Amino acid sequence: MSDPWYEQPNAAQGVSRFKEIMAGPGNREVVQKLVRWTVLMFTAPFIAYFGCTNLLDSGPIWAGVAAIVVVQVVIFGYVFVAFTEDMEVDRVASEPEPVPAGGAAAAAGSEAKKSR
């Protein structure tokens, strides 16, 4: 089969494609944030479960409830950060450009010079 959908790329092509994607604007921060939240999602419930069973001497049911609550908190936190990030980007994009030191008249004059 010579169909490109079925061809598997070799490892070097995969690594170079990953580097190309990571070089894009904002991609590195997004991947870092995803990795941080993934690690938190994996470790925090275990910490809550074993912390409740060992430190608080609670039964396994309450430790399980604590782990479930921690999972819900992590999910809520991730969604909250995602929504806050979108609003922050929109706010920065909608802010007007700063006016030069000469004030509005100087800004209008510089625009007139540029358009000639």
DSSP string covering 56-86, please?
S---HHHHHHHHHHHHHHHHHHHHHHHHHHH
Structural domain that includes position 68: 28-93
Whether residue 9 contacts residue 17, with contact meaning beta carbons closer than 8 Å, is answered with yes
Distance of CA 34 to the CA centre of its chain: 6
Task: For residue 36, tell me if it sits in a domain.
Answer: yes
Residue 9 lies in a domain: no
Half-sphere exposure of 66 (CA within 13 A, CB side): 19
Handedness of CA 95, 99, 100, 101 (dihedral sign): negative
User: Does any domain span residue 5?
Assistant: no
- Using one digit for the tens of pLDDT, what is the confidence trace for 35-62? 999 999 999 999 999 999 888 878 889 9
pLDDT tens profile 63-112: 999 999 999 999 999 999 888 876 655 555 666 666 666 655 555 555 55
Question: Helix or strand or coil: residue 95?
Answer: coil
Q: From CA 74, how far away is CA 60, in angstroms rounded?
A: 21
Tokens of 56: 């608080």
Q: Please state whether the predicted TM-score (pTM) of the whole model is above 0.75.
A: no
Residue 113 belongs to a domain: no
The total domain count for the chain is: 1
